[in-house]
Amino acid sequence: MYEIVAESAGKKKLKAGDLTRAMTAKYGDSVSRKDCKAAIKQLIDSGRCVYGYYGGSSIELPRTEGAANE
Amino acid sequence: MADDLKIPLLEELEKGPWPSFVSDIKSVADKSEMARDLLRQLEKSYEDKRGYWKHGGLVGVLGYGGGVIGRYSALPEEFPGVSHFHTMRVNQPSGWVYTSKALNEIMDLWDEHGSGLTNMHGSTGDLVLLGTRTEELEPMFQALTQKGWDLGGSGSDMRTPSCCIGPARCEWACYDTLDLCYNLTQEYQDELHRPMFNYKFKFKLAGCPNDCVASQARSDMAIVGVWKDEIQIDKDAYAEYIKDGFNVKEYVVDMCPTGCITADENDIEIDDSNCVKCMHCIARMPKALAPGKERGAALCLGAKAPIVEGALIAQVIVPFMKLEPPYEELHDLIERIWEFWDEHGKARERIGEFIERVSLATFLEGIGLEPLPQMVKQPRDNPYVFYEEYYAEEDEGEDA
Ligand code: HEM
Ligand code: HEM
Ligand code: SF4
Ligand code: SF4
């Protein structure tokens, strides 16, 4: 899941639902929505990913955003 | 007042008869650089007729995708005090009941970690703390949680549920709004802090159809207290109203929207089968009339304010549900609604817009509810549906 986020960094902002759909596309029914929820939770709580908001919430790599002031 | 604060355009706003946010912020401008630069930047916006804020999409506290709304000034050199100006939403207690000690604690923390400016309360219901720097977010969050507070929702998550004061003060409450508000907040902590929906989802809880929290207009799911049996009538109290010269015909009988009240000097009767629970008669004669004894709530879906498309008002989805702990029936329905919306909704599509797009019939099928007459929101406006066809089909079915 982390790879999917990393690959799309700078291109498309992925939402929780996009990640879940991508995972089921890749692994079929062997991953449930619950599994995906838990995986997102792990990614966020470990700090490897962060939530972003641009007209809707997304899951992204941590970085310094363009709008940030010193 | 600091000498360098020249804000003539903003000061125009202080001239009307109403309280002014300009006066409020000015009152702390001497001791807060943030407050002073907030006014100065806004004055410049008024002069130039454009805004100078940038959105900060990534700021937040570890583990949470909501509760912090990031803002940076586009002119940080000119207005260093508001270079960072993030808002924190604090989850309010049910019914907005605080002790002054608790409020003082929050204000002390906010003077230390933020601008000291607040908005009580936002239309989300949260206690809104206006203006802090990125590096102060985690320390403020830690300090708040140590005192037992938590952040509220923002972004594509379940927003902080809010409710009317309900049975704490109001005899009209048809269920315990405070308890259910707390229950939903606790039950759905993940949905509150970890945005996982297509877009925001708001709950507002009103104890009776008076709807003091305007849930019908402002929430994706409005939970509105209502009764199923007869309006309770106290005949002695009614006699008192008559004795005091109260004009029942003009103020009550003639104003009942369905004309279901008959009353004269001696007696009052209500045809409850035609009462639409508008609360008018009860509000006019609170001593004589009261909601019935079989109490619960109606669930309505789909209201939203006009941001992308026009405003929507909520529509009934469950006319009556008993609401008592542990609220399993309600949780179950909420989860079915979220799942169907999650699977078939588009990005940034609120539940009301979703229902409009896929049609109520499809939606009901998706969440497993039977259609009911109470769900009808308006008379049909399409003349090209011919009911004869439906009748014909049914007849054939019976023959076979
Ligand atoms: C370009 C600038 C801005 C835009 C486009 C904007 C837009 C919005 C929108 C759309 C909402 C509703 C969010 C929701 O409920 O989902 C909102 C809420 C809010 N905004 Fe702004 N805003 C801007 C600047 C600001 C600034 C500079 C402040 C503070 C100084 C501010 C304070 C707030 C607060 C406190 C709320 C929440 C109110 C509540 O919870 O009911 N906003 N804003
Ligand atoms: C550029 C001029 C006009 C346009 C674009 C226009 C457009 C329309 C449209 C879209 C409808 C709805 C049709 C429907 O039911 O689907 C309509 C209905 C109607 N229009 Fe016009 N109209 C125009 C001029 C007029 C004029 C000049 C009159 C009368 C002198 C008129 C009388 C009516 C009436 C009576 C209806 C209702 C028909 C019905 O549904 O029973 N319209 N018009
Ligand atoms: S909505 Fe009804 S129950 Fe709640 S405070 Fe208002 S009048 Fe009372
Ligand atoms: S609640 Fe409204 S509809 Fe019902 S009897 Fe009273 S005035 Fe009429």
Residue B60 domain flag: yes
Band of pLDDT at residue A70, cut at 50, 70 and 90: confident
Nearest Cα residue to atom 7 of ligand 3: B210
Residue B153 domain flag: no
Indicate if B222 and B139 belong to the same structural domain: no
Residue B202 domain flag: yes
The pLDDT of residue B184 is: 98
Band of pLDDT at residue A34, cut at 50, 70 and 90: confident
CA distance B246 to B252: 10
Q: Which domain holds residue B243?
A: 232-290
CA of B381 to the centre of ligand 1 (A): 37
The pLDDT of residue B305 is: 84
Residue B142's CATH number = 3.30.70.2500
Residue B183's CATH number = 3.30.413.10
What's the mean pLDDT in A26-33? 87
Contact B325, B314 (CB under 8 A): no
CA distance B302 to B155: 18
Task: Please name the CATH architecture into which domain A2-60 falls.
Answer: Orthogonal Bundle (1.10)
Say whether pLDDT at A12 is over 50: yes
Indicate if B43 and B89 belong to the same structural domain: yes
Give Cα separations from A62 to A47, A55, B70 (angstroms).
Answer: 8, 18, 15
Residues touching ligand 3 (Cβ under 6 Å) are: B 164-166, 170, 172-173, 206-208, 210-212, 225
What's the mean pLDDT in A8-37? 88
Q: Could you read off the pLDDT of B75-88 as tens digits, one per residue?
A: 999 999 999 999 99
Indicate if B18 and B117 belong to the same structural domain: yes
Indicate if B27 and B127 belong to the same structural domain: yes
CB atoms within 10 A of CB B310: 9
Indicate if B120 and B252 belong to the same structural domain: no
Indicate if B20 and B140 belong to the same structural domain: yes
Q: Could you read off the pLDDT of A47-56 as tens digits, one per residue?
A: 999 999 887 8
Indicate if B298 and B266 belong to the same structural domain: no
CA distance B111 to B117: 8
Indicate if B171 and B236 belong to the same structural domain: no
Decide if the complex's ipTM is over 0.90: no
Indicate if B270 and B311 belong to the same structural domain: no
Residue B380 domain flag: no
| Ranges of residues in chain B whose predicted pLDDT is under 70 | 1-3, 307-309, 386-400
Number of domains in chain B: 3
Contact pairs from chain A to chain B, CB under 8 Å = 83
**Token pair in block for residue B275:** 């009462």
The pLDDT of residue B399 is: 47
Indicate if B221 and B362 belong to the same structural domain: yes
With a CB-CB cutoff of 8 Å, which residues 168-207 of chain B face chain A? 190, 194-199
